[in-house]
Amino acid sequence: LCLWCHRSPASKAHFCSKTCALAAEAQGPILLEVLNGHDTFKNVEGQFNRSWRHDDKPRPIVRRIYKVILSQSSEAAYSQYRSSIEARGKFLASGMSAGNENRRWHGTRRECTVGDDGNTTLCNSSTCPLCSIIQTSYDVGKCKAGSSFERFGAGIYTSSTSSKSHDYAKNGSKSPLKAILLNKVVVGNGYKLRTGNSNLKAPPSGFDSVLGETGKDLNYDELVIYRNDAIRPSFLVLYDA
């Protein structure tokens, strides 16, 4: 069913029509619950399960998924950036997505209980990065170069490995669930690194992101971007803590 009107079939799309899509976007930023059994739920759950790669951590069960609806201005800024990267890199001509867009996980602190039991109310706490990201997206200005946890400098860190991002998902209140974000990220032309450089503030000239590859400093992959408009939260995923 359509995530907005809950009536018309939406096939594999989130909404049944452009009218419903625009109506939802006009209310952004908001969360819309994706019911278990919906094609979107199956798609996101499948990516979570397939990308859980830590053999020493039992894979938890996904309980709830929410579609993040951004403000129209935030969505427009992201689309404009993606178009600019596509115009330069021409990724579509190589059979890739526009701007080499990919979906990547990000774990952070959840101070409140948004997502629990269908709760879609975003809090305004300054110590709840999760709600802040959903409301205004990511802010590279809050990142600090030189941190021991940021091998590739002051950037926004994501991973294709859900179990890696799980390590950074923290609860500030009692909850039987943990929460991580699945994001859409404009990778563009990624610069591959296997050893860290914590003083980076941008990718090398001619590149749009840094791809932390496994083999030396990393056991699991990282994708780092240094532009706010290169990333937007797409889904909030709640799973057994």
What pLDDT does residue 148 have?
53
pTM attached to this predicted model: 0.95
Residue 55: domain span: 25-139+160-188+228-240
The reply to whether 9 falls in a domain is: no
The reply to whether 118 falls in a domain is: yes
Give how many domains the chain has, as a whole number: 1
The reply to whether 213 falls in a domain is: no
The reply to whether 180 falls in a domain is: yes
3-class secondary structure per residue, the chain: CCCCCCCCCCCCCCCCCHHHHHHHHHCCCEEEEECCCCHHHHHHHHHHHHCCCCCCCCCCCEEEEEEEECCHHHHHHHHHHHHHHHHHHCCHHHCCCHHHEEEEEEECEECCCCCHHHCCCCCCCCCCHHHHHHHHCCCHHHCCCCCCCCCCCCCEEEECCHHHHHCCCEECCCCCEEEEEEEEEECCCEEEECCCCCCCCCCCCCCCEEEECCCCCCCCCEEEECCHHHEEEEEEEEEEC
The reply to whether 72 falls in a domain is: yes
pLDDT tens, position by position, 15-31: 999 999 999 999 999 99
pLDDT tens, position by position, 64-75: 999 999 999 999
Q: What is the CATH number of the domain that holds 77?
A: 3.90.228.10
